[in-house]
Chain A
Amino acid sequence: MTDPLTPVLTANWADERAWKLSNYERRGGYDALRSALQMDPAEVVTLVKDSGLRGRGGAGFPTGMKWSFIPQDNPKPKYLVVNADESEPGTCKDIPLMMASPHTLVEGVIISAYAIRANHAFIYVRGEVLHVVRRLQQAVREAYSAGYAGHNILGTGYDLEVIVHAGAGAYICGEETALLDSLEGRRGQPRLRPPFPAIAGLYASPTVINNVESISSVPSIVANGADWFSSMGTEKSKGMTIYSLSGHVANPGQFEAPLGITLRQLLDLAGGIREGHQLKFWTPGGSSTPMLTDAHLDVPLDYEAIASVKSMLGTKALQCFDETTSVVRTVLRWTEFYKHESCGKCTPCREGTWWLVQILKRMEAGRGQHGDIEKLLDLCDNILGRSFCALGDGATSPITSAIQYFRDEFEAAMHTPAWEMFPYERSTIFVREPAGA
């Protein structure tokens, strides 16, 4: 039986100056790179395939399989791109990882680039996290100086340029094809697929795009083996992963555990919901994943089990809201986020999110009109599956799931403002009234 928590990626986060190369090496850092460079690149791909690692950025696609789609007979250069544009509401795992231990990512980048035979790798990090950008820049510089990156890495003849690229504020660039357009110096708008990035990605060349946590898991897999990795987790959801607990929790934070732990177990470790309150609703993996309720506390947090309750594991961003929270208000604010972040390319998403906000705003004010709930659902139905990328789909998740579980609150929005039913101050961390007042 594996332990409830299994720190691997987070293991050095309490170390003094863990971001420095010397401290990373003291823990065996870059040993995995040395091992990987002794292997044939195809063997590294097979190893990651065998480990069962699935993408940690939301979709859960098997990482090794993604790598194996790169056509090695294609004469164009191959590229590795790390999606470090963490901005899905609720998601907050990659930022502390890159801040604390950027070398974990950089080592993963070099091994992964070697596996797919890329000579250029990019870390596309959102621009709004200055200190993370600094730590990444420094880690890459240190890796070059130590001979882990650049020309003729560790004397093996393998060359790799690693470029840290700061974005400029656009959630849509977390969508992989929009990220590629952005990295090419364009507006970040998604591309039609196929062709998939593995065939025609960056500069129309074969490209692998992986999340920070996925790439950061690679060194541990190389170091400890595929069996070690797959000894953690469930049958189809292997390995350890970082769960991010936030919201009305006594002690929010990051928990690295085998896939399949439950929210009840995590809440037990976090001291439960804040004192005097009860869980009302939560997201399993960011705002784009349909919300769940206290009826789902014992659903294993793995890809299959969460899908079985009509949601998605997503980024494992567990945002918890207690009974003081207005569902209508929360959903409005998420919808405003999608409206703001819609890139404008596809009409259903661009216009639909705009109309959703108009209706939700009047509902928050207690001025919902007869038929508004049906209108919201109809709008969602016209957005879902009708846009290039998943942003539009994600925008509908909070609304349809909220109406499914809390329809009565939307009914009440026909006559009572949300702030009267749920005085907003009671939801804040600096609430001055006693609980239940």
Chain B
Amino acid sequence: MKQIRLFSSMAVIVFSAAGFVLGQGAIPAIAQQGQQAPPTIAAAMDREIATVEKEVVDAAQAMPEGKFNFSPEAINLQGSDYKGVRTFALQVRHIAASNYILWSQLTGDKFPQDYLGGNGPENLKTKAEIVKFLKDSFALGHKAAATLTPENMLQSPASSKSTRLHLVTFGVAHAFNHYGQMVEYLRMNGIVPPATANRKQ
């Protein structure tokens, strides 16, 4: 009888534990905590891309056409060495070309070789052409984000050793890095970056 009681007690404990474990799996922990459901990974990445897209495109639009090829080298700042750094236009083209090489690996789209990495096609000269190249690269980013699922995000596409998630997030981080440089180029020309100007209004 004592043994039965012991087994019964164990069974109750294991049933309770099993119910707890299974319950956690069946009912999302977030719901138990009264928190909102997380966005899908595709939606979350799409939002990241949209955020940096707005910052970069607005900054590109803010630079007047006549100063689009500005390089800090031109202002001969005492004690500086900006020799060979990217011009404002090349910063924008570089962001776009990097977007293409990173995000096309998720979508499988084929692009001309000069779209990928580096500074993009040499024939892009005007502000309008370069901004269009930039916007089109972000459109590709939104398409790439839409392909992400919980199942594939930590897998690598055939063309890369990086995970799909990394390819998307690296593109965003890379764009922010160059956006920071664009901000400085704008300020060197007396232009307050739109993100800052809008915040002050």
Asked if A and B bind, the verdict is no
Which residues of B are at the interface with A, using a C-beta cutoff of 8 A? none
